[in-house]
Amino acid sequence: MLLAAWAPPAAADDPKPVVTLSKPEAAKGTEITANGTGWRPGTLLMLLVCGQSSPGQGVIGGTNSCANADGRAVTTDAKGAFSKPLPVAAPPKPCPCVVHVATVTGEQAVVDAELKITGHPVAPLPEQSGTGRLSVLTAPRLDGSSGILTWFGAPPSRTLVVTVGNLGSAPVKDPVFQVGTSHGVFAPQWEDRQWKGTVAPGGKAEVRLGFELSAGAHGDYQVSVKYGQKVLATQPWGVGRPWGVTLFWILLCLVVPAAVFRIGMAVVDKVRPSGAGHARRGRGGRPRWPVRGPAAEPAPPSAANGTTATAATTTTTALPWFTPDSAPTENRPNTPTTKGNP
């Protein structure tokens, strides 16, 4: 009993969004007021007058059937309600016509209110092609990370993940999406990506689409996904610079000149002529000059009879006060010294 008394009340079902018009029929060029309730608070909505549409089948042909230039935007209040004047513009397609109200951000929600436009052509609705109408329900995200090869210039790759819902009345089987990447002011480069699966009417599914950029790509990119002719979502992606390539070129600029210099010095050392007048290099590339030894003594003079004297000659260092002629020798005869003239 106590537990039952303290149990919280069951949450009421979320109200469905509703749109009503101030006039069910209006002439071209006049103005009507669109009122809405049951929307999420603070949600940005877009209001368009569309032709070739009905509340049961939606807008056939997408927003190409609407008067986009005369659309209006409104934000719901704290209670999820709004009231917005809307000009009755002639849509590019014939009636049946509706006022198409759809969320711009957040969870997707669409409501069509029937409107008769006086004086506008009326034609039967075309048969549905059975492809359904896909729309993105949640914000896209990028899964994956860069490895060491990407740091050295390999192509960066990611997986774009989006949750799509089928707003049409026919199932969508194996849809083909287009993934586009753009950089700066350049237009996106679109590539087809087929997703295997089926999205039932009113159902939703998580779609994963892989893609990659060119080798060495870096900077700010925009990744978009498109189905048919409609861009479903866009996600920014900041790609880091491949610093490994920059480091490689710096090392190459340092190593190659050093290697060429060493090879050149080795070639010069091999081809230079060898001789006494040239320096020889030792270890470390430093020159190694020849060491001069003592000067060789001149050959002894030949004797008068053509034989070489074999007697050892004694070298006597002359004193500073003797001249070579006045120095005493063993061959000079001993003669008495007399005073004056002989």
Q: Summarize the confidence of residues 72-92 as an average pLDDT.
A: 94
Q: Which of 121-130, 242-251, 300-309, 330-339 is predicted least confidently? A: 300-309
Based on its alpha-carbon atoms, the radius of gyration of the chain, rounded to whole angstroms, reads 52
pLDDT digits (tens, 9 = 90+) for 198-230: 887 777 888 898 888 877 677 788 888 888 778
Q: How far apart are CA 82 and CA 43, in angstroms?
A: 10
Alpha carbon 128 to its chain's center: 42
Q: What share of the chain is helix, strand, coil (3-state, %, to 5)?
A: 15, 35, 50
Kindly tell me if the per-residue pLDDT of 314 is higher than 80.
Answer: no
271 — pLDDT class (breaks 50, 70, 90): confident
Q: Is 161 exposed, middle or buried (0-12, 13-18, 19+ CB in 10 A)?
A: middle
**Which pLDDT score is estimated for 307?**
46
Task: Note the pTM of the prediction, 2 decimals.
Answer: 0.42
DSSP 197: S
Q: Strand, coil or helix: what is 156?
A: coil
Q: How far apart are CA 154 and CA 213, in angstroms?
A: 9
Q: How far apart are CA 224 and CA 189, in angstroms?
A: 10
